[in-house]
Amino acid sequence: MNYNETLDLLKKHGQTQLLRYYDELSDESKASLLSQIEKIDWSLLKLLDRKEMKVEKGVLSPLGALEIDEINARREEFEKVGIDALRHEKVGAVLLAGGQGTRLGFDGPKGTYPIGVTHELYIFQCLINNLTDVVKRVGAWVPLYIMTSEKNNDATVKFFNEHNFFGYDKDHVHFFIQEMAPSVGYDGKILLEAKDRISLSPNGNGGWFTSLVKAGYLDHMKENGVEWLTVFAVDNVCQRINDPAFVGATIASGRDCGAKVVAKANPTEKIGVLCLEDGKPSIVEYYEITDDMKNLRDERGELLYKFGVILNYMFKISKLEDILRQKMPVHVVEKKIPYIDENGEPVKPTEPNGYKFETLVLDMIHMMDSCLSFEVVREKEFAPVKNATGVDSVETARELLKKNGVQL
């Protein structure tokens, strides 16, 4: 598109601010900006009109979990299945590390955060150490796919190289880059992050399988006999990854996927609950369940909607292929988005100032026909680093790491 065509398009969408600095740019920057504008997915902006509308949920009902007592009683049986699959390298792992971690406010990929206190220990290192426990136990490497974004890929790859992959086998680590989406201010105008660059943010963690396939790794996995993938967040430093019990229980259940869950600390805890929606597995947010439902109890006095997800799942790859072309819901989320103002000055907001468009991995669960809900001990496996201080923070994660015997 040339300048005039681009201007017409922007007028049509009420977004001419994107060309505010055009005349000041070099020829190369001009061409680059026009090409970025050409790639904008305008359908995303229509979602802004509907962002206040509640998403209609189907009929919700409880989904029982495989609870800790039963897991312990059947641990040997599950681990046998898990170890067998892991030994044959049938289960890969996908680390979701494309997010921007704006709440933490750390300058660099979240995984490079030094969580150690008296010695060097990084978030990525904690995760690699946890995975390495499994590698040592089963005697086989786990193929690890790391999703980054354009914003943090170079820094992430460099960091892994500088630290010699924390002892993990380089040949079993594969990086792939997720896609981006434009970010807008509260007025719905797409922001500029530089005079020649529109503000783009990673488009959520829901596109991980599509991006993995686009990067050519589906063939790679098939050639190498990988049939299952676990998926986990970068920020939960304590979580066990590909542990044989979870892997084995999910495979043995014959279900399409598995999800690690923790018992809710109290009925109103702000955590997505795994349940059934119209008979299919689904994760509903704490604000989507009525107060009545939150407090419903069974004959044992246990909450019926008791189990919350911790972003640690396992999917059968053939089932993921089935949903590859299905459209996922896009969520409009409030975030702090750096931009340049009308004077061309960079602004780094301290409070949310606009919206990003994201698809979420939790929505994939509802696209599956069945899911094993697998309970884990919160104090052992749930220490997300979301904030610098307070709830789900560096402090709380350090405490839990220490409790679990990790030297900080």
**Stretch binding ligand UTP (CB under 6 A), from 33-41, 96-104, 186-194, 245-253:** 96-104
Tell the smallest beta-carbon distance from residue 112 to ligand UTP (Å).
12
Tell the smallest beta-carbon distance from residue 102 to ligand UTP (Å).
3
Hey, which residues between 319 and 348 contact ligand UTP (CB under 6 A)? Answer: 335
| Contact status: 147 vs ligand UTP (CB under 6 A) | yes
| Three-state secondary structure string covering the chain | CCHHHHHHHHHHHCCHHHHCCHHHCCHHHHHHHHHHHHCCCCHHHHHHHHCCCCCCCCCEEECCCECHHHHHHCHHHHHHHHHHHHHCCCEEEEEECCCCCCCCCCCCCHHHCECCCCCCCEHHHHHHHHHHHHHHHHCCCCCEEEEECCCCHHHHHHHHHHCHHHHCCHHHEEEEECCEEECEECCCCECEEECCEECEEECCHHHHHHHHHHCCHHHHHHHCCCCEEEEEECCECCCCCCCHHHHHHHHHHCCCEEEEEEECCCCCCCCCEEEEECCEEEEECHHHCCHHHHHCECCCCCECCCEEEEEEEEEEHHHHHHCCCCCCCCEEEEECCCEECCCCCEECCCCCCEEEEECCCHHHHCCCCCEEEEECCHHHHCCECCECCCCCEHHHHHHHHHHCCCCC
Q: For 253, left (φ over 0), alpha (ψ -120 to 50), or beta?
A: alpha
Tell the smallest beta-carbon distance from residue 295 to ligand UTP (Å).
27
Q: Which is nearer to ligand UTP, 78 or 160 (CB)?
A: 160
Q: Which is nearer to ligand UTP, 203 or 396 (CB)?
A: 203
Site string for ligand UTP, 268-287 (x = CB under 6 A): --------------------
Tell the smallest beta-carbon distance from residue 252 to ligand UTP (Å).
28
Hey, which residues between 175 and 234 contact ligand UTP (CB under 6 A)? Answer: 178, 202-205, 233-234
| Contact status: 99 vs ligand UTP (CB under 6 A) | yes
Q: Which is nearer to ligand UTP, 177 or 303 (CB)?
A: 177
| Contact status: 368 vs ligand UTP (CB under 6 A) | no
Site string for ligand UTP, 18-57 (x = CB under 6 A): ----------------------------------------
Tell the smallest beta-carbon distance from residue 210 to ligand UTP (Å).
12
| Contact status: 115 vs ligand UTP (CB under 6 A) | no
| Contact status: 235 vs ligand UTP (CB under 6 A) | yes
Tell the smallest beta-carbon distance from residue 400 to ligand UTP (Å).
17
Options 74, 103, 214, 378; binder of ligand UTP; rule CB under 6 A: 103
Which residues are CB-contacts of 62 (< 8 A; sequence separation ≥ 6)? 275, 276, 296, 304, 305, 306
| Contact status: 101 vs ligand UTP (CB under 6 A) | yes
| Contact status: 98 vs ligand UTP (CB under 6 A) | yes
| Contact status: 244 vs ligand UTP (CB under 6 A) | no
Tell the smallest beta-carbon distance from residue 127 to ligand UTP (Å).
10
Residues that bind ligand UTP in the complex, under the rule CB under 6 A: 96-104, 147, 178, 202-205, 233-235, 335, 358, 386
